[in-house]
A and B are shown apart, each in its own frame.
Chain A
Amino acid sequence: MSGMNIKSLLTLVLVVASVSLFAQADNHTDSSHEQAAQSENSHETDNHDDQDAHSTEGHHDECAFHHEQDPENFNPQQIAFHHIADANVYSIGPLQLPLPCILYSKESGWDIFLSNKFEFDRLGHGAGYKAFNRYVLDGGSVKRIADASFPGGSVAIEGFKHKEIVVDGKKKEEAYICYGGNEYKLDAKSTLDGGMFGGGITSFHDFSITKNVTAMILVTLFLMWMFLSIASAYKKREGMAPKGLQGFIEPVFTFMNDEVVEPFLGKKSLTYLPFIMALFFFILGLNLFGQIPFFGGANVTGSLSVTLVLAVITFLVVNFSGKKDYWQHIFWMPGVPAWVKTILTPVEMLGVFIKPLTLMLRLFANITAGHIVIIIFVSLIFIFGKVGTVPAAGYGAAVGSTVLTLFMMSIELLVAFIQAFVFAILTASYIGAAVEEHHH
């Protein structure tokens, strides 16, 4: 009986996944066909030879919206980075929903509006046809026209252009828009990485409720509802066996308590239990939410800013709860010769910062890598379809990539749990080391 159920469930999952994969493949090609009628009069027909020559270079010198670009010009790397990035639109399947934009620039102050002011396609790739107060929507994220001569208010633009330039031996992509025969350079939003990841302080700051923020709000509300209802169930059904949701979460909670919190924190466990459980369930919730296909695919825990904040909170909690022994072991390790201390102290001091740094990178890298691998597997369909120049190669690859994607997604499900567990257990061990009292 249960064997039957599992079989039918597997078949259903396979059918749904392959149908949706094909639907997505269709969407990619269809959207270029749909819009071909619109752009027939423009470059698409007469400049075709020209575009072919450019496609070998991997970037496009044409001013165009996403769907007008040559489908031959398929760049999996660009697509992967577009899909793991945060966005100012929320996408459910091919459907794009507007989100509130809260933007600040020194010149024009605060701008608060819904991102449908950019008039992007409901079934598109988040390229806005209009600029609003010198902001545009390029590939789902808001950018600002740096040139002050561009008119404010709602202005129809003619297309986007992405150029690859090389600065200090590093490739960098610059975005431009075309308007009235001129090209205007676009500024990306300010990031606090000090230019390390190609960001830095630009002409505006983005405080929007982005896709990632929406996902975080949804997950937080869900967790609040879940734990409040479980807590009330414990009050109402005191002394009785757990039931429903309560019975589902109780083993997870007791496992985390018995395996993570108790062994590392001992007597202090009740003080830190709420913090570690909150971290665990928040990260687990976001990891799993990001796994739901075609539901935004919000890569929240695969965003460095989110993992940075989580790691900074852990860093603060660890160091503020550090006892005398903890600091003594960092600055003047007892029981070792003085010359060893000169080596040990700098290493230990570095360790204070490296611990949260690895916490941040581990979660980010694991979740992002999983998302990229899935996107690359889906991209294989288009790569094979293009190389073989026979559609059959693409269809063959679609079958293969469906299987590979399903395999990868089940591994990702495991990784979602393991990474949440690892974050929690490492936090517990760091706090445990900080509050431990030694007896020499």
Chain B
Amino acid sequence: MTGTLAAVGAGLAVIGAGIGIGNVGAKAMEAIARQPEAVGDIRANMILMAALVEGAALIAIILSFFA
């Protein structure tokens, strides 16, 4: 039973990360549409930001293993 609860927690964490990375991607697309010449810089920063958001979700998922 604890395993199932932990799985729910992991799922909730992934929802948060999904919203976060979705926002990063959406804003990056908008920025590229506005300034197509800055696509290289925007892409690199987008990946960096997505990775940082992902980090928070990963910690939650690993914690759910221990729960």
Contacts and interface: CB of A to CB of B under 8 A. Distances in A.
A180 interface: no
B2 interface: yes
B59 A357 contact: yes
Interface in B46-67: 47-48, 51-52, 54-56, 58-59, 61-62, 65-66
A354 B59 contact: yes
In this complex, which of B2, B54, B55 has the most chain A Cβ atoms within 10 angstroms of its Cβ? B55
A337 interface: no
A361 B51 contact: no
Contacts of A171: 3
Contacts of A89: none
A358 B59 contact: yes
A259 B44 contact: yes
Nearest to B43: A259
A440 B18 CA distance: 38
A362 interface: yes
Contact of B48 (A354, A357, A361, A426): A426
Interface stretch (A2-10, A60-68, A94-102, A417-425): A417-425
A233 to B, nearest CB: 27
Contacts of B65: 197
Nearest to A425: B48
Nearest to B61: A365
| Chain A interface extent, by class | 10 to 19
A361 B47 contact: no
A169 B58 contact: no
Nearest to B2: A169
Nearest to A259: B44
A53 interface: no
Nearest to A365: B58
Nearest to A426: B51
A418 B47 contact: yes
B54 A362 contact: yes
Interface in A414-438: 418, 421-422, 425-426, 429
A382 B51 CA distance: 35
A259 B44 CA distance: 7
A362 B59 contact: no
A197 B62 CA distance: 10
A196 interface: yes
A258 to B, nearest CB: 9
Contacts of B61: 365
A251 B40 CA distance: 14
Interface string B1-34: 0110000000000000000000000000000000
B47 A425 contact: yes
A361 B44 contact: no
Contacts of A170: 2
A361 B55 contact: yes
A358 B44 contact: no
Q: Which 7 A-B pairs have the closest CB atoms?
A: A358-B55, A361-B58, A422-B51, A259-B44, A169-B2, A365-B58, A425-B48
28 contacts: A170-B2, A196-B66, A197-B65, A259-B40, A259-B44, A260-B44, A357-B59, A358-B58, A361-B55, A361-B58, A361-B59, A361-B62, A362-B51, A362-B54, A362-B55, A362-B58, A365-B58, A365-B61, A421-B47, A422-B47, A422-B51, A425-B44, A425-B48, A425-B51, A426-B48, A426-B51, A426-B52, A429-B48
Given A196-B66, A426-B51, 19 more contacts: A169-B2, A197-B65, A259-B40, A260-B44, A357-B59, A358-B58, A358-B59, A361-B55, A361-B58, A362-B55, A365-B61, A421-B47, A422-B47, A422-B48, A425-B44, A425-B48, A426-B48, A426-B52, A429-B48
